[in-house]
Structure formats: C-alpha cells, structure tokens
Amino acid sequence: MSFYGVELSSRLLLGTARYLSPAILAEAIKASGAEVVTVSLRRESGGERAGQSFWSLVRALGVRVLPNTAGCHSVKEAVTTAHMARELFDTTWIKLEVIGDADTLQPDVFGLVEAARILSEDGFEVFPYTTEDLVVADRLVEAGCRVLMPWGAPIGSARGLNNVYGLKSLRAHFPDIPLVVDAGLGVPSHAAAAMELGYDAVLLNTAVAEAGDPVAMARAFALAVEAGRTAYLAQPLEPRDMAAPSTPTIGKAALGD
C-alpha cells in the first residue's frame, strides 16, 4: 500500500487521542502494528512546547505522523493549522478536516474542497476527511488529493458502515486512488467489512482508546484488517437469492420402491 509514494505494510492507521495514559497509547500502537498515527496540533504548544513529552513518545515508536486539523470549522482555520503542523512536525502530510455540523461532525464539503486546493497548491499532501459522495470525491481529486478518506459513520459513533452502497460505489469509481475508511468504526468486524469492500486501509481512534482493554482491542483490529484484506483478494462468494446445495445431487444414490 502506498500513500503519496510512501510504501506501508500495515493497513491500519491509529489515532492518538483519548487514551488513559501515554503508556497505554504506546502499547496500543505497538499491538496494532500501525505505521501511521494521527496527531492533533492541539496536543502541542508551539510556544511553551508543552506537548514535547508526547511528541517524544510518538517519535520513539518509530511511526510516521499524520497531523490533522481536527476541530477546524472554516477554511482559514484549517489552512492556518496545516501550516503550523508542517512547521512543527516537519511533514507535508496533513489530514484535512473542515467540520460543518457540530452534532454529527460531518465535513463541510464545500470548505473541504477549497482548503484542499489551497494546501495542495502550497505543496501539502492532503488526506481529506470526507463523505462518500462521488461528486465531492471528484472535486477533491481535481483539487490535488491523491488519497480519499470517507467516513464510515459519524466520528466516535461506533456505528460501523452506515452507507455500504455509497462506499462500494466510491471504490468502483476510483479504482486507482487509495481509499481509507475514516471514523465511525466500533468493533473489528466493521474494519473487516470495510476491507472486504476493497478499501486500502482504515483509520480509527475511539474504538481502541475507549475500549476496556485498548491494547487487546488494537490487536483485534489489526487481525480484522488483515482478515478483511485477505478475504477481498480471495474474491468472496457473491450473495444469492436462492439456496445452492453444497453437496452435489448428481451421482446420488437412488432408492427403489
């Protein structure tokens, strides 16, 4: 799997918020096998460097950082945050969030496309948090995005894949664009289902961070992602309307009267 020319072996991306302690976070990341973690700029203080201990922990794990613009509600706010993140984390990668609704945390797709174009033209490699809308996805690709991150369900809702049809259509429409289901996954089976649709990866945070045992849950998600991807490559059986006997009827013994 490749994002902007960077080859990765793990198809599980992990968020770093809401863990009970840095130690649990570190163990969960190790158990997940994730090579990319998302980091909110709000965890760091550009002036006081109040988040340096956290940043040191992430660097010690040897993972690649994907800064995000979490909590931004306008194009200006998201673009400014992205520039600060590039300076602080020394990366051109940015997970772009422009939130349009406070209750569902649904992306403002109009602002998202505008911000993606501005950042792409400024040399950023943008990972947009978007919906499964095909037209919006087309506009994001036109704006310079080479990865798309549609939501499965609202952030932190643990509802899984709310619109399987929409996600399947997106996969079919963009066969050569890396697609990552981002947000709303609650249990490992949700992640496996996303991978069975042909998605390249999943990104999650709350499902692991708020589990009773985050380390065990991280490991479970890693296994589910691997299983889902393997199943997709194995070309699973399509659903049928009628029963199909698994035991052949030809050659079956015939009983006389």
Of the candidates 30, 76, 95, 168, the residue annotated as catalytic is 95
> Rounded to whole angstroms, how far apart are CA atoms 253 and 133?
55
Angle between helices 188-196 and 214-233 (to 10 degrees): 20
In the numeric block, which tokens belong to residue 168?
A: 């399947």
CB-CB neighbours of 249 under 10 Å:
6
Q: Which of 243, 134, 242, 153 is nearest to 204 (CA)?
A: 153
Check if the beta carbon of residue 187 is closer than 8 Å to that of residue 157: no
Torsion of Cα atoms, 36 then 173 then 170 then 176, to 10°:
-10
Q: Which of 14, 22, 12, 21 is nearest to 39 (CA)?
A: 14
Quickly tell me which residue has 């990552």 as its tokens. Answer: 180
What 3 state SS string does 56-112 have?
A: HHHHHCCCEEEEECCCCCCHHHHHHHHHHHHHHHCCCEEEECCECCCCCCCECHHHH
In the numeric block, which tokens belong to residue 192?
A: 């496996």
- Quick check: is 76 catalytic? no
> Rounded to whole angstroms, how far apart are CA atoms 125 and 107?
19
Q: How far from the centroid of its chain's Cα atoms is residue 118's Cα?
A: 22
Instruction: Give just the sign of the alpha carbon dihedral 169, 174, 176, 178.
Output: negative
Residues known to be catalytic:
95
